[in-house]
Chains A and B, each alone.
Chain A
Amino acid sequence: KQEVTQIPAALSVPEGENLVLNCSFTDSAIYNLQWFRQDPGKGLTSLLLIQSSQREQTSGRLNASLDKSSGRSTLYIAASQPGDSATYLCAVRSSNDYKLSFGAGTTVTVRA
């Protein structure tokens, strides 16, 4: 069974600092990995999808890397802003399964 861990559970940084969010998974046989953002009381917004054959994906200030062999993905957010405050969830889809396995999330607070 795929286990997904996100550390730290919470992070507080001053505005302008770069954010580094970590996601680790136990089974390296994955199909893809998806990063989501969730605002309080809201649904999940897909940020980036990385296929197993890719090493990274970029969208604006966001960059996600994938290292399957070590079972890790990292989401980088450059020059953080207060509007980046949210919970960030990592979800992994194993190669032999259509289901997403979610991490518990990292709650980010960017202080103005």
Chain B
Amino acid sequence: DARVTQTPRHKVTEMGQEVTMRCQPILGHNTVFWYRQTMMQGLELLAYFRNRAPLDDSGMPKDRFSAEMPDATLATLKIQPSEPRDSAVYFCASVPGQAYNEQFFGPGTRLTVL
């Protein structure tokens, strides 16, 4: 049963700490999206990778957020330093082939920054 996995599922941290979230896309999917979901803003696109290369990260606050895909089986989203306003659920989604195809979402990482 192929699915996107994300770790950790929950993270509580204090303001100023570094947070790293991980995503394992479905094997063979070469396109990965990072989203953030909050009650106020809904789902927002943060970054988009294709074949491990970042093609669009315009949705991320550049001063504190960074996204990488060190290999085809791992995508990471890092926040340093974290702030209370970063509290949200972070999802990654993987897509087979072209970015226009159906997106498959992971279970998300619920981040709380105190």
Please list the residues of chain A having a beta carbon within 8 angstroms of any beta carbon in chain B: 31-32, 34, 36, 41-46, 49, 89, 91, 93, 98-100, 102-105
Q: Is B18 an interface residue (CB 8 A)?
A: no
Interface residues on chain B, number (Cβ under 8 Å)? 18
Shortest distance between the CB of B69 and any CB in chain A (Å):
16
Chain B facing A: main interface SS: strand
- Is there an interface contact between A98 and B110, defined as CB atoms closer than 8 Å? no
30 example contacts (A-B, Cβ-Cβ < 8 A) are as follows A31-B100, A32-B100, A34-B102, A34-B103, A36-B105, A42-B107, A43-B4, A43-B91, A43-B105, A44-B91, A44-B93, A44-B105, A45-B105, A46-B102, A46-B103, A46-B104, A46-B105, A49-B102, A89-B43, A91-B43, A93-B100, A98-B48, A99-B48, A99-B56, A100-B43, A100-B45, A100-B103, A102-B42, A102-B43, A103-B42
